[in-house]
Chain A
Amino acid sequence: MMGLSDGVYFASWFLEFLVINTIFALINSIILIIMVFKFIGFLWIFLLMWLYGMSVFSLGYFFCSFMDRTRIGLIFAILVYFVMYFVSLVSTSDLVSNTLKMLASLLPPTCLQLGLNNFIYFDVIFINII
């Protein structure tokens, strides 16, 4: 596009979102470590947030490959994003097997939900032990 090779074009988008995502994840992690988690290390929370941000970026790029119109693309992306989140509400049930949970974790919001549930679970257990 515009005289750029594909690699340079993709790398420019990737680097731009990498910086934004790192800042975003850093702010989120600081808020979570101060207000929510007491016994989980900063690095793990930052890693979860950062990886989630990168997966959201990949998801956004994935949506864009199917769409040519801005408005329809945005509506479609938001809709699918929330559908993925609703899957996460179901997947946290104890009745769902681990295999299904791992498959559902291919959807970024579901993966975030399960990951955060584990963090909260261990944080709460540690509070109970103390």
Chain B
Amino acid sequence: MEGYFPTMADLTKYVTSTDYNTAGIPEICFGFSIDKINTKVYNYTMNFFVVGRSGGRSSIPDPAQVSQNRFTNKPNLGDFNKWMNSGYLALVKILNDIIFQDATNTTTAKIDFGLLAQNYTTYLDDSKGRLLGAILPFFIVIGYLSPLIVLIYRILSEKVTFLINSSKFLIFIFINSSNYNIGKQIKRRYEDDGSF
């Protein structure tokens, strides 16, 4: 939905309507109201309403997450358009354009402003933290290598011992059965012919 509410009361009436979030009165994410007091004074409000939407992923840089934080790598020169078209800055720009158009009575009037992000390397790119992040896991990985080696050694030793014992047992069975069979053959021949 596009446009704006003439007064704050209209906005409140819209979102508190019993038919809100139905086909006739769709749910809104942001609500604006502009009160023109006189030609020199404008009062405006911005309201954010929670919309049931989840699973989205932000495409603009998020300083709270290191993986998405481009401040730590290089000066941020190419992302100002993303901030300009989203969040608080985009809302302010919409309201400024509406007020400017109303004040100049020109529908095409607009205010374009640029934004260049400051580089915060000294704040977020902590060299000690980075060094610690590289060294600490290495020592822990090395530390856990010894129980891993002991575990594998013991399990495999047991496995090998079992295999050797199984082999011995099989050889024992083979020799026993062979003795029995050979003896049986000798006995049968002796009983049949009286000779070997």
Q: Within residues 86 to 130 of chain A, which ones have a CB less than 8 A from any CB in chain B? A: 88, 92, 94, 96-98, 101, 109, 112-113, 116-117, 120-121, 123-124, 128
Contact with B along A30-59 (1 / 0, CB 8 A): 000000100000000000010011001101
Contact between A56 and B160 (Cβ–Cβ < 8 Å)?
no
CA distance A81 to B155 in the complex (A): 17
Contact of B147 among A20, A61, A121 (CB under 8 A): A20
Cβ contact within 8 Å between B143 and A28: yes
Interface residues on A, range: 35 or more
Contact of B152 among A21, A63, A112, A117 (CB under 8 A): A63
Cα distance, A10 to B122, chains bound together (Å): 52
Which of B128, B140, B152 is close to A28, meaning CB atoms less than 8 Å apart?
B140
Q: Which residues of A contact B126 (CB under 8 A)?
A: 124, 128
Cα A74 to Cα B145 with chains together (Å): 11
Decide: A60 and B141 in contact? CB cutoff 8 A.
no
Question: Which among B138, B152, B155 has the highest number of chain A CB atoms within 10 Å?
Answer: B152
With A116-B136, A116-B137 as known contacts, state yes or no: A59 contacts B67, CB within 8 Å: no
Is residue B73 within 8 Å, beta carbon to beta carbon, of the partner chain? yes
Given that A53-B147, A94-B73 are known contacts, is A109 also in contact with B141, CB under 8 Å in the complex?
A: yes
B160 touches A24 (CB 8 A): no
Question: Knowing A68-B163, A92-B133, A109-B137 touch, does A59 contact B148 (C-beta < 8 A)?
Answer: yes
Residues of chain B contacted by A21 (CB below 8 angstroms) = 147
Residue of B68, B72, B148, B162 near A60 (CB, 8 A) is: B148
The answer to whether B159 touches A64, judged by C-beta atoms less than 8 angstroms apart, is yes
**Residue contact A53 to B144, C-beta cutoff 8 Å:** yes
Contact, CB under 8 Å: B151 / A94 = no
B190 partner residues in chain A, CB cutoff 8 A? none
A96 with B132, Cβ < 8 A, contacts A57-B151, A112-B141 known: no
**Interface contact B66-A112, CB-CB below 8 Å:** no
User: Are the CB atoms of A69 and B160 closer together than 8 Å?
Assistant: yes
B194 interface residue (CB < 8 Å to A): no
* In the complex, chain B residues whose CB is within 8 Å of the CB of A97: 67
What is B's interface to A at a CB cutoff of 8 Å? 66-70, 72-73, 123, 126, 128-129, 132-133, 136-138, 140-141, 143-145, 147-149, 151-153, 155-160, 162-163
Given contacts A69-B160, A73-B156, 10 further A-B contacts (CB under 8 A): A2-B162, A17-B147, A24-B147, A28-B143, A64-B152, A67-B156, A69-B156, A77-B152, A96-B67, A116-B133
The 10 closest A-B pairs by CB, nearest first: A124-B129, A113-B137, A60-B151, A70-B156, A64-B155, A117-B133, A124-B126, A73-B156, A120-B133, A109-B141
